[in-house]
């Protein structure tokens, strides 16, 4: 794709009443609707009206998130939408490749080619929920994930694209010669196959990855087609963008085969002053004691006796090497403390807005300026849009920011193609088994 035709890719990260931890306390917030499908449907239809590439549901196996299971939710959404991509997080550490391959193939068929898989290894330990003694070590989780994805792709390829015949004259439903065992045996998995459902319409659902550690970046360069990442500055985003894109060649991939979407978490209003009022109100609603407790646990030091207004230092804080969870997010917090000399209050406020993603408070035009700056200066292929308040934050983004981006020639004015791969400019992968046969 030429630079003149290069356009933004936008994903909406769905998250209850909003990505600000105190959004549920706003007067017009409706936390009681977090499990209300029709409420969620309206939000997703707003994203589709705005021509966004996709929506994304994060997931995990610990905590009290009180949210619907993503395959159930996205399958229901697929029946009530036409164009927008549907991306779900599914971790590799506490799942099996056959289950995941089958579920995503089903979602891709139901949605007619709009599914995407956000591949995570599990930042938080769920060992106690799955009969394990402890959470696997970070680098081992990525070794496991590498093999997990390979098995899953082979299972999708176990049916050739034309294996289904439905030939009434011959009495054949399938061409059995085009449905293959995979007989995979590796360090972590032993899977015979074949899968029990035909190859997905997209070949593979779009493969998304969200880790930004060293292991995560290498895994992304090898496997991912979209990266969700967190950066606090354009300089940091540029370094990450160049780093990951430069790794693609070793895996025989081009720059266009991987889209990098940093998170951007806006508070938008008609004037800066109005947006700042919303920001101040949200901060007042933060449970400060709980925020300090969580931060103390993450950083490995008791912050409860610290003044909220005193600048933090790195002294005594847990290093990233000591973390067995989300290493990149931990390092981002350390960088904030070091580079911006934030007070405890400022850090709580920054993390409360979007857990370390880039936050923005201002007008739609100002946000469009920021998006254009990052996009045209080698920091992003688009953005993972994370409104701090739902649904109003997405409403104003679609109603005001999207038209401004369209006026600047940066974003589509109509959906192109039929699948999520089409929207992202990604090729449909060849069936590896058919290809291998052709080479024999």
Feature table: binding site for FMN: 59, 89, 138, 142, 212-213
Closest to 384 (Cα-Cα) out of 425, 412, 356: 356
Three-class DSSP category at 89: strand
Contact (CB, 8 A) for 360 and 265: yes
Closest to 89 (Cα-Cα) out of 110, 109, 103, 106: 103
The whole-angstrom separation of Cα 296 and Cα 309 is 16
Residue 339, φ and ψ in degrees, nearest 5: -80, -35
According to DSSP, residue 397 is labeled I
Q: Which ranges of 247-382 would DSSP assign to H, the alpha helix? A: 272-285, 288-299, 327-340, 344-354, 364-376
Cα atoms found within 13 Å of the Cα of residue 193, Cβ hemisphere only: 27
Cα separation values, 365 from 30, 267, 360, Å: 28, 13, 12
The whole-angstrom separation of Cα 387 and Cα 390 is 6
Question: Across-strand partners of 12?
Answer: 55, 385
Q: Which residue positions form the known binding site?
A: 59, 89, 138, 142, 212-213
Contact (CB, 8 A) for 347 and 336: yes
Contact (CB, 8 A) for 262 and 356: no
The long-range contacts involving 160-164, CB below 8 angstroms and separated by at least 24 positions, are: 160/199, 160/431, 160/433, 160/434, 161/199, 161/203, 161/431, 161/434, 163/198, 163/199, 164/198
The whole-angstrom separation of Cα 144 and Cα 131 is 18
432: buried, middle or exposed (CB in 10 Å: 19+, 13-18, 0-12)? middle
Q: How many CB atoms lie within 10 A of CB 197?
A: 18
């Amino acid at each position: 794709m030429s630079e003149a035709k290069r356009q933004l890719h936008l994903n909406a990260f769905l998250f209850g009443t909003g990505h600000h931890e105190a959004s549920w306390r706003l007067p017009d917030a409706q936390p009681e609707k977090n499990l209300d499908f029709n409420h969620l449907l309206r939000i997703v239809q707003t994203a589709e009206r705005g021509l966004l590439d996709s929506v994304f549901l994060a997931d995990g196996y610990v905590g009290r998130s009180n949210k619907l299971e993503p395959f159930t939710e996205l399958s229901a959404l697929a029946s009530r939408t036409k164009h927008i991509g549907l991306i779900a997080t599914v971790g590799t550490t506490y799942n099996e490749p056959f289950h995941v391959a089958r579920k995503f193939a089903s979602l891709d068929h139901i949605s007619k080619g709009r599914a995407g898989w956000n591949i995570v290894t599990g930042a938080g330990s769920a060992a106690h929920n799955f009969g394990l003694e402890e959470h696997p070590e970070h680098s081992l989780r990525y070794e496991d994930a590498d093999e997990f994805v390979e098995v899953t792709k082979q299972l999708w390829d176990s049916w050739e694209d034309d294996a289904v015949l439905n030939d009434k004259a011959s009495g054949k439903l399938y061409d059995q010669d085009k449905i293959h065992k995979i007989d995979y045996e590796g360090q972590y998995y032993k899977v015979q196959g074949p899968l029990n459902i035909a190859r997905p319409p997209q070949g593979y659902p779009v493969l998304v990855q969200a880790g930004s550690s060293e292991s995560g970046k290498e895994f992304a360069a090898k496997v991912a087609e979209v990266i969700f990442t967190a950066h606090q500055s354009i300089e940091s985003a540029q370094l990450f963008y160049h780093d990951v894109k430069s790794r693609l060649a070793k895996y025989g991939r081009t720059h266009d085969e991987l889209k990098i979407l940093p998170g951007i978490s806006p508070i938008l209003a008609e004037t800066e002053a109005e947006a700042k009022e919303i920001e101040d109100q949200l901060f007042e609603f933060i449970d400060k004691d709980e925020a300090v407790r969580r931060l103390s646990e993450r950083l490995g030091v008791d912050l409860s006796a610290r003044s909220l207004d005193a600048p933090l230092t790195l002294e005594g804080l847990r290093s990233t090497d000591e973390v067995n969870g989300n290493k990149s997010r931990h390092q981002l917090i350390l960088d904030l403390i070091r580079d911006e000399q934030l007070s405890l209050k400022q850090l709580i406020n920054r993390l409360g807005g979007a857990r370390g993603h880039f936050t923005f408070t201002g007008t739609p035009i100002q946000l469009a300026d920021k998006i254009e700056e990052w996009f045209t200066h080698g920091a992003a292929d688009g953005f993972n849009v994370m409104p701090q308040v739902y649904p109003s934050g997405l409403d104003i983004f679609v109603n005001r920011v999207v038209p401004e981006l369209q006026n600047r020639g940066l974003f589509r004015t109509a959906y192109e193609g039929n699948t999520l791969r089409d929207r992202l400019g990604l090729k449909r992968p060849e069936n590896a088994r058919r290809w291998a046969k052709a080479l024999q």
